[in-house]
Chains A and B, each alone.
Chain A
Amino acid sequence: MSSATVHIVRTGTANIASVMAGLRRAGARPVLTDDAGVVESSARLVLPGVGAMGATMGAVQSAGLVAALRKRIEQDRPTLAVCMGHQLLGVSSDESPGVPGLGVHDGVGVRFSEASGLRVPQLGWNSVTKPEDGARFLTESGYAYFANSYCFRSVPSDWMGATAVYDGSFVAAIERGNVLTCQFHPELSGAFGARLMRRWLVNAGVEIAQDAAGVMS
């Protein structure tokens, strides 16, 4: 395996081409997989996902990847989860009652409220506030691109979280050790997202040439 290889879980429901292009721009070599062994032990794994919680979890289950994903996160292997991937780590979501998430933390997905007069889904650039101190990846505040109707309201214990405000405060991204999960789409968040992906890749041992990273402008 090349030292720039990143495995992408084939969830079947994601904007995978965008995620792969984003990783290539950041200097990595993305490779799709649905092999449980690779998912468990790959040096770098991205869990993408758009669409409904039930459909995404269904794809992960039918590919037999639930245990592999839980295990790699327990073992703190470098993992980046995006959008629905971020929500899969929780215990459940109101979007798909009765469908258990991976249960890595105790987050529960709840829907934004239209009663506030806001549009749901949230589609657009929201201002993300980084956590106080000591984050490895979430070291920067800035605008990121969101496309979601459901969210986590509070940062799980043991995790550091970046937040944003829509109908109220919600979790924009969380990190613990080598694991980073983002409600927003780093691959669609311009230079801000590219720098975040690059920090995650570098931490996971990918050597990135300045020109390949292309984010220093």
Chain B
Amino acid sequence: MSIDVLPPRVIPCLDFSDGRVVKGIKFQNLRDAGDPVELARAYEAQGGDELVMLDVSATTEARASAVETVRLVRETLSIPLTVGGGVRVADDAARLLDAGADKTGINTAAVRNPEVITEMAQRFGRQCVVVAIDAARREDEQDRWQVVTQAGTKREEIDAVGWAREACERGAGEVLLTSWDRDGTRSGYDLDLLRAVSEAVTVPVIASGGAHTPEHLVEALEAGADAVLAASIFHDGEHTVKSVKDAMSRLGVKVREAEPVA
């Protein structure tokens, strides 16, 4: 188990494509949800501790525009920025870092070629390397999870907890752990999955997939997560980062207080 010294990070996530924010439910049915620069600024002003941007472009043309979107967001953002989606080789990560990302997320490509994790860690430092793991409960064994790749379309015969451990041994500085079963369901994070992975690794773990209330975020932290990522909870205007952090604070979690934005 990890001990908490730092206030847990609350991390809004923007899925984006072709210069616009989109929202996915199980990575399908995308709908336009706004301008990334505008949303990024708002999240920082509300007290977001970091921002994650996932490029969900389906076409190479849209993908090529991702670097420009990152550049625009970076100019205004003075909190850390992680960018993932479409990172296959270390050079892809280098392009995003050059555009203003502080960390890069890698998912399917790391499963296909785990050595890319080590290469990125050596080149950029391990704190730049966020290994994103999409995990789904096995149908034959409910207390085990298998890795899901290719934006959720492919179930791999790879144990998610074991993969998290291996990714860290290879140089991951952080694990972004998404429950494929919970993503988009608004029913809360998969806490068993979080517990299993948090205990298996010594790097920070970011919980993702299923959050809809401040209580969900607190549960994830109690299960061992060091940071909580959420998207839809903030997009719909029902909650702001500030209202969520205030609620977490009332639930007894020490959070970083928001300050007027730079």
Contact = CB atoms under 8 A, between A and B. Distances in A.
B127 interface: yes
B261 interface: yes
A187 to B, nearest CB: 7
Interface of B: 1-3, 5-9, 44, 49, 71, 74-81, 97-102, 122-128, 173-174, 202-204, 226-227, 256-257, 259-262
B6 A15 contact: no
Given A120-B202, A121-B173, A55 B122 contact: yes
A29 B81 CA distance: 22
B127 A148 contact: yes
B261 A125 contact: no
11 contacts: A17-B101, A22-B78, A55-B123, A114-B202, A119-B203, A142-B259, A166-B5, A188-B78, A190-B259, A191-B78, A191-B262
Contact of B261 (A22, A121, A142, A217): A217
A84 B260 CA distance: 28
A185 B49 CA distance: 13
Given A123-B204, A190-B259, A215-B262, A15 B102 contact: yes
Contact of B102 (A149, A165, A188): A188
B173 to A, nearest CB: 6
Contacts, number: 135
Interface in A161-217: 165-167, 185, 187-194, 214-215, 217
Given A17-B100, A18-B81, A123-B204, A192 B259 contact: yes
A118 B3 contact: yes
9 nearest A-B residue pairs (beta carbon): A51-B125, A217-B260, A194-B262, A17-B100, A124-B6, A117-B3, A147-B127, A191-B262, A119-B204
Nearest to B3: A117
Contacts of B44: 190
Contacts of A189: 78-79
A130 to B, nearest CB: 16
A123 B173 contact: yes
Given A190-B78, A190-B261, A214-B262, A52 B256 contact: no
Interface string A145-169: 1011100000000000000011100
